[in-house]
Structure 1
Amino acid sequence: MKKLLAIAAVTFLLWSCGGKQQADLIIHNATVYTVNDEFTVATAFAVKDGKFIGVGSDEDILKDFESDETINLEGAPVYPGLIDAHAHFYRYGLGLKNADLVGTKSFDEILEILQAHREKYPDDEWIVGRGWDQNDWENKEFPSKEKLDKLFPDVPVFISRVDGHAALANSSAMSQSEIFGNTKEVTGGKIYFDKDGKPTGLLVDNAMDLIGKYIPEQTRADQIEALIMAQQNCFAVGLTGVVDAGLEVSTIELIDSLNKSGELKMRLYAMVAPSEQSIDYFKKKGKIKTDYLNVRSFKVYGDGALGSRGANLLSDYSDDPGNSGFLLETEANYDELARTIYDMGFQMNTHCIGDRTDRVILDIYGKYLPEGNDLRWKIEHAQVVSKEDVPKFGKYNIIPSVQPTHATSDMYWAVERLGEDRVKTAYAYKDLLDQNGYIALGSDFPVEDINPMYGFHAAVARQDAENWPEGGWQAENKLSREEALRGMTIWVAYSNFEENEKGSIEVGKFADFIFTQKDMMKAPESELRNLKVTATYLNGQKVY
């Protein structure tokens, strides 16, 4: 019997050496942008157990592998699954049931949307909305609460600006907080008052917390629904990974539990909101790393946004003399936080919009990051950076994590805020890329649209949805298509310490990939924004 078993084993070995390897999926006759170091374009690959096991020519893959599922793409393009380097995945999901104010052209239009929203959800305790931008209105002044009070005298209303750094509340909402008390000034924030000294309802940055903390929390069922809805919307636009910028411990634990149950499959790199509680939690627990969740960083807020004039500038706003914005914390607090994060072995990722904020944070980073380090600390947004400070990214190996659609959304009014000279140092993605040879690209959704094709178009064309302006805005900072694709795949993976498992189509990596209707690398620039994803695969399984 033993002799027969030995003969059978030898026979199996001989057959397996000369036969084909079984795969779960084979893709061939495709245009496969591997995004490996050489940016090789293959034509076929094979997948087994959720990972790529072969990548190359049709001849080699079909010779070496066989599968019950073999797809001939007839030359269609394939790319690694796209990764958004900076977004608010959980917050986006929660907001899907709030009033959508994006693209409104006047405050009166907002009022109409809020009334319709109230009719749809009459039992909600609060009316919450997001997305207005006074820069899109004929009257570009900030709104005040009077019309909200008239329409909703007994229902609290809280509607935040598109950037999430300003909000308008009605009197009913303010009556639930301390804002009607003696509060006049807020560190790292601003309360607007009318000529009679009464609050207008407009709050900027940290002042938003005076009311925001009273909004009822979502139930666990609502939170789960939000995460699942966000996941499906991401898959539909080709996102297989998202960096979620600023999560609480309770949300991270919920996400981890949904990963383990199989309900949530989106790959998330979670930045932790740096409260005392969360820092203590991760000091004890350490980093979290699974196939779907990676927690090893903190998201720090340096300042506000340019659109709401909360970004901290080295000199005053060109359209608001006497105002240069503000930091959200003291410099000493940022320094202490950097030392704590460094000692924990975590990554520090700081929201920096204004040139003064970038300078302050870059210099603090420089105190803790030795030259040649591989700690991969990031500056999130890096929106306005003085020429003197740009080289610090290279000196300390700091990663710029930027959002190309911010440039094309802000280009209509950025010069008003910054002036003709200073605006040239803003949204300077090519200059930042040249420091280390890589840059991470994201969207900041829901601040911008979730669709990564909008970001790809903005990065390479520097144009809006109407393909304006001709030639691109500040075209010297355009990225090439290869740079933009790397910035949405392998360079994001690198910024998350995940370059060995995702971000390219290479043997041994997760089989996350997408098909598109037209080729991102060849289609006319004017068609890039509306380019459609036709299929999304995660672990070699079709999820869209």
Structure 2
Amino acid sequence: MKNLLLLVVILSVISCAPKKIPADLLVKNATIYTVNENFDTANAFVVKDGKILEIGIKPELELKYAIAETYDAKGKTIVPGLIDAHAHLFNLGAMLQHVDLVGTTSYDEVLSRVVAFQKEKNRDYIIGRGWDQNDWDVKEFPTKKELDSLFPDTPVALGRVDGHALLANTKALELAGITAETKMEGGEVVLENGAPSGIVIDSPMELLWNTFPEMTSETASEALLAAEKICLENGLTTVNDAGLDRMTIELIDSLQQAGDMSLRVYAMVSNTPENLDYYLNNGIVKTERLNVRSVKVYGDGALGSRGAAMRAPYSDKDGHFGAMITNADSLAFLAEKIAAAGFQMNTHAIGDSANISVLRAYKKALTGKTDARWKVEHAQIVSPSDFDYFSNNIIPSVQPTHATSDMYWAEDRVGAERIKGAYAYKTLLDKAGIVVLGTDFPVEQVNPMYTFYAAVARKDLQQYPENGFRKEEALSREEALKGMTIWAAYSNFEENEKGSIEAGKFADFTILNQDIMTIAEDSIPKVKVIATFVNGALVYSKE
């Protein structure tokens, strides 16, 4: 009788106990930076159907939920899935199929890499990218002379690291129809002794691009997936691709829909008549992994190739102002058209002349609008009087490693006064209220830890300069992390679905082997990604 009574009591207790809620994943034993409104930390959270269900303490969550799978972070640091707010995903993948010239220290090294590549690949058209004459002892543009000697019958086109200049041999120039008489607004064909030197800057580069062999759908898919792999290994869960055509956007969508591509993509539509006609008329495209609601416009060129449009001549080249790729009237026309369609406008602006032209066009087109979130991509050199244009409607989208890559020669280009408005991330933040961070890869390296370090330390990977480059423009660690997560998500109109670890948002998160918020500053670049999760699924693991 006593045993029977005990059994009744046990069954009664069990029946009264709350039923556990099913959940897919428990992540525990972590230092979790939620990046919510209060920048709270936690040590565990639960995931269900690809979204965060609850953040809390491990024992409580284990009691409340019936967990299908557990991930023990073993004391590591977790941050929201990192967002690269300005990059070129497709270009990164394409570059992996071409000659890699990044890091070359001389033109001779460039030539050696091209020769070795062609010996292995035997291509009908040799394409490469990544050289930077500012890294060479001889800091002048190279010429086509040596390429003509090595490859008299094979076209060669080698892109500068910033994508705003090409070195082409005679065969490539002939295919493109480029001569000494070729003139295009927004760029130039550099001449030497009255003939093309081989250097083509900005707008006329399109003539060369049009002669490149077309990528098949299969090779384009391979390029995208190869680039995605690198991104996931670096803890990125969303990439803003700054300029894609319709075909590539639709290919990304098909890969995502088929389950072949996990990475989320914020696709900026390249500013071509065909692209604008299609997307502005058909409207925003939004899935859980793809967002197409912005247009990428080029205001000017790059500082390294002296293509950035300046109000006064370059300090290291008399009488040279750079050039607008899209002039002020065209910017104003585009801004009105894009605003009328309800799309976001994201414009590349490097020089102070380009920045004020873009800012004026934005201000006029956005009159009466309160939540446009238009972006100035780079906002690299801004006149002090023009910072006041930035607001919640106009967001600066910057790349901190550009500052630490350019710092060795930037002041020579623009002079001691103009450099005061250059790479001014803290000033931009103070004016706009947010600043979003990216890399511009493959111009810079993909690694977001380098972005974080350059933002807060303002140093290169050799810890130079000792006190940081224009350290007064550094961001705090909290600001930098927000710029790579919640502020980036906000700039994409996605702050309600990603950018922080909060209930109801996608379970996108990145696990790091060290705590980037507390470790010694110069240790930040050495931080490694342990794992990357998208939608609660493990998409990369180092272990």
* Structure 1 residue 153 displacement after superposition: 0.8
TM-superposed deviation, 1:16: 9.9
Task: Please say if 1:506 is aligned against 2:502.
Answer: yes
**If the length of structure 2 is used for normalisation, what is the TM-score?**
0.95
The match for 2:117 is: 117
C-alpha offsets along residues 205-237 of structure 1, whole Å, 9 cap, x if unaligned?
Answer: 002112221011111110000011111110000
Write the distance in 1 (CA, Å) between the matches of 2:342 and 2:22: 42
Partner of 2:300: 303
Corresponding residue SS for 1:389 = helix
In the alignment, does 2:211 pair up with 1:222? no
Q: CA deviation at 1:308?
A: 0.3
Kindly provide the CA deviation profile for residues 456-493 of structure 1, in whole angstroms up to 9, marking residues without a partner as x.
11001000010110121000000010100000001000
The 3 A distance-change label for structure 1 pair 135 and 176 is same
| 1:340 matched to 2:310 | no
Seen in structure 2, the aligned counterparts of structure 1 residues 15 and 442 have a Cα distance that, compared at 3 Å, is farther
2:6 corresponds to: none
Aligned partner of 1:406 in structure 2 is 402
Shift of 1:74: 3.0
1:437 aligns with 2:468: no
Pairing of 1:75-114 with structure 2 (within 5 A) = 75-114=75-114
- TM-align CA RMSD: 1.4
- Spell out structure 1 runs of 4+ moving beyond 4 A: 14-17
Residue type of the alignment partner of 2:29: N
Would you say 1:188 and 2:181 are equivalent positions? no
Match of 1:325 among 322, 327, 332: 322
**Maintained 8 Å contact 1:371/1:397:** no
- Compute the displacement of 1:285 (Å): 1.7
For 1:471, give the aligned amino acid. N
Cα gap change, 1:307/1:15 in structure 2, threshold over 3 Å: closer, same or farther?
farther
Shift of 1:351: 0.2
Determine the structure 1 residue equivalent to 2:4: none
Report what 1:7 is aligned to.
Answer: none
TM-aligned CA distance change 1:16 to 1:32, over 3 Å: farther
Query: Bigger CA drift: 237-246 or 324-333?
Result: 324-333
Report the AA paired with residue 465 of structure 1: L
Which residue of the partner structure matches residue 137 of structure 1? 136
Displacement of 1:372 after TM fit? 6.6
Match in the other structure for 2:411: 415
Deviations 1:328-347 (A, max 9, x none): 12211111111100110000
Cα distance in 2 for residues equivalent to 1:455 and 1:293? 24
Which of residues 488, 500, 504 in structure 1 aligns to 2:484? 488
Return the offset for 1:436. Answer: 2.6
The residue type paired with residue 109 of structure 2 is: E
For residue 178 of structure 1, report the CA deviation from its aligned partner. Answer: 1.5
The amino acid across from 2:132 in the alignment is D
Residue 370 of structure 1 aligns to which amino acid in structure 2? Answer: T
Q: Is the 8 A contact 2:35 2:80 kept in 1?
A: yes
TM-score, L = length of structure 1: 0.95
Mapped partners of 1:210, 1:336: distance in 2: 25
1:26–1:66 contact (8 Å) kept in structure 2: no
C-alpha distance in structure 2 between counterparts of 1:456 and 1:422, whole Å: 25
Greater mean alpha carbon deviation, residues 173-182 or residues 43-52:
173-182
- SS class of match (2:384): coil
Q: CA deviation at 1:102?
A: 0.5
Give the secondary-structure state (helix, strand or coil) at the position aligned to 2:468: coil
Number of the residue aligned with 1:6: none
- Distance, in Å, in 2 between the alignment partners of 1:16 and 1:273 is 61
Q: Displacement of 1:73 after TM fit?
A: 2.3
- Report how far residue 17 of structure 1 moved: 7.9
Give the stretch that moved more between structures: 280-289 or 261-270. Answer: 280-289
1:176 aligns with 2:172: no
Counting matched residue pairs gives 528
In the alignment, the residues of structure 2 paired with residue 319 and residue 16 of structure 1 have an alpha-carbon distance, to the nearest angstrom, of 81
- SS of 2:531's partner is strand
Q: Report whether the alignment pairs 1:522 with 2:518.
A: yes
Give secondary structure in 2 for the equivalent of 1:175: helix
CA distance in 2, matches of 1:178, 1:432: 43
How far has the Cα of 1:370 moved from its partner?
3.0
Partner residue, 1:275: 272
Asked if 2 retains the 8 angstrom alpha-carbon contact of 1:85 and 1:242, the reply is yes
Distance 1:453 1:462 in 2: 13
Residues 114 and 16 (structure 1 numbering): CA distance in 2 closer, same or farther, change over 3 Å?
Answer: farther
In 1, Cα distance between the equivalents of 2:181 and 2:415?
Answer: 37
* Residue 351 of structure 1, aligned match among 348, 357, 374: 348
Cα drift, residue 514 of structure 1: 1.1
**Counterpart Cα distance in 1 of 2:453 and 2:17:** 47
CA distance in 1, matches of 2:263, 2:42: 26
Task: Give, in whole Å, the separation in 2 of the partners of 1:16 and 1:471.
Answer: 64
CA distance in 1: counterparts of 2:16 and 2:453, whole angstroms = 47
Q: What does the per-residue CA deviation read over 1:124-146, in whole Å, with 9 as the maximum and x for residues that have no partner? A: 21111000000000000100000
Deviation digits for residues 55-111 of structure 1 (CA, Å, limit 9, x no counterpart): 122243223223132233232111111000000001111111111101100000001
1:384 is paired with a residue whose SS is coil
- Separation in structure 1 between the aligned mates of residue 524 and residue 226 of structure 2, nearest angstrom: 25
CA distance in 1, matches of 2:98, 2:291: 28
CA contact (8 A) 1:429 1:479 kept: yes
Cα–Cα, structure 1 residues 424 and 181, in superposed 2: closer, same or farther, change >3 Å? closer
